[in-house]
Chains A and B, each alone.
Chain A
Amino acid sequence: MLLQRMAMGDRAALETLYRAYHGGLCRFLSRLTRRADLIEEIVNDCFWIAWRKAGSFHGDSRVSTWIMGIAYRCGLKALRQRGDEPVDDYALREGRGPSHDPDADRELRDWLAEGLKHLSADQRIVVELVYGVGNSLDEVAAIMQAPVGTVKARLFHARVKLRNVLPTLAGDPPTQRENRS
């Protein structure tokens, strides 16, 4: 297991783990900030801690949950230290306007960005972890160190907001049902 090897000082194991998680972590952290230099710094802080704490991992959760939790806390700390507000990053993208790029991915990203800018940072993280990473509610609660009920509420409100602000596929007006539980 890579973490066990890291606990014994195996840097090759660290490199393997770093490359395996780099893409996912960058995408996850891009929900907090759009600054590439800051994301790199947070990822490195995360693996710095993982390297030092690898011996304390006892398999109580999935490795990905453990690493995501570290990255989330490092991300919040980095933003706090710089006085950055994570929500501002998505607000900045609004100025670019709708993309006319025919590339489908670009269109999808713009569509997503349009929705995510209406969410709080916590709501974006929950949406990313559930829909993007595929975590369960329990895992999201472990990563964010929050009660499951809080995670549920964040997911619910994020979904209601997204339903109301995202342009529907067929161009229909958004529905306004908000009383589902």
Chain B
Amino acid sequence: MTIQTSSDKDCARAWKSMPWVLQATAPPEERDWLMHHLAQCEACSGEFAQQSRLRSALSLPTDVPVDADRGLKRLLERLAAPEPEAAPIRPWSSANRLTRALAAAVLLQAIGIGALGVWLWSDQAPHYRTLSQPALLEPVGALRVVPAAGMKLADWNKLLHDLGLRVIDGPNDAGAYAVVPAGPASSSVSALRRLRADRDIRLAEPVDNTP
């Protein structure tokens, strides 16, 4: 810890006061106090003399010759001249073209992503059915048919064709197919009768959707 003597404190105060006393902006009592201190302190007195000289030197006119009349003339000419117009923006400058191309690419990409999102949203249902899903309800008039294990595919197709039937589901775990009349001319009742008469058909029965 430094213990300041009264004299040091006075010198510090004098140091602070000098510029404002020289400016004549310090309060009169501060100026009087400084003059009193300077009369007693040789160091501060020398400092104040140097500060006074500094102020005198800085108050001299500049030694850099600058012609006021010429400068004013140029300023007035500048004021009289029309203000330069802002450079027009060239719509197809190279930088501008690149910006536009990038913007178009981003826009196109955004549209594509949006369309893809809409398509995915509207097509939620998969095109397949898992075994854990409940069986689709067969339409009215559907028949459940179990062909014999040894029945040839060609015979099965011919039978369906002759009876005007088409497969809409199956085979399930028991080997049963769901078939319906292919057109209004076909009758599921007569088809059922003929299916039961066929020796290659092990089972033929109407589908009952009622639980």
* A residues adjacent to B (C-beta < 8 A): 11, 14-15, 18-19, 22-23, 26-27, 30, 34-36, 39-40, 43-44, 47-48, 51, 105, 108-109, 111-112, 115, 127-128, 130-132, 134, 136, 155, 159, 162-163, 166, 168-170, 172, 175, 177, 180-181
Sample of 11 A–B contacts (CB below 8 Å): A22-B72, A40-B70, A43-B71, A44-B75, A108-B57, A131-B22, A131-B23, A170-B46, A172-B46, A180-B12, A181-B12
Q: A22-B66, A112-B57, A128-B58 given; name 5 further pairs at CB < 8 Å.
A: A131-B54, A134-B25, A159-B51, A177-B43, A180-B12
Chain B nearest CB from A167 CB (Å) reads: 9
Asked whether, in the complex, the Cβ of B11 is within 8 Å of the Cβ of A180, the reply is yes
Residues from chain B with Cβ under 8 Å of A136 in the complex: 25
- The B contact surface, by secondary structure, is helix
Whether the pair A175, B43 counts as a contact (CB closer than 8 A) is: yes
User: In the complex, which residue of chain A has the Cβ closest to the Cβ of B24?
Assistant: A134
Known A51-B79, A108-B57, A180-B12; judge A131-B66 contact (CB<8 A).
no
* A132-B59 in contact given A155-B19, A170-B46, A180-B11 (Cβ < 8 Å): yes
Residues of A within 8 A of B7 (CB): none
Interface size class of B (residues with CB under 8 A): 35 or more
CB-CB under 8 A from A131, the residues of chain B are: 19, 22-23, 51, 54-55, 58-59
B63 to A: closest C-beta gap in Å: 6
Residues of B at the A interface (CB closer than 8 Å) are 11-12, 15, 19, 22-23, 25, 43, 46-47, 49-51, 53-68, 70-72, 74-76, 78-79
The minimal Cβ–Cβ distance linking A43 to chain B, given in whole angstroms, is 6
Chain A CB within 10 Å — which of B23, B63, B76 has the most? B63
The answer to whether A26 touches B75, judged by C-beta atoms less than 8 angstroms apart, is no
Contact A19 B60 (CB under 8 A): no
B23–A134 CB distance below 8 A? yes
Give the complex CA separation of A35 and B76 in angstroms: 22
Q: A43-B66, A108-B53, A175-B47 are in contact. Are A19 and B61 (CB under 8 A)?
A: no
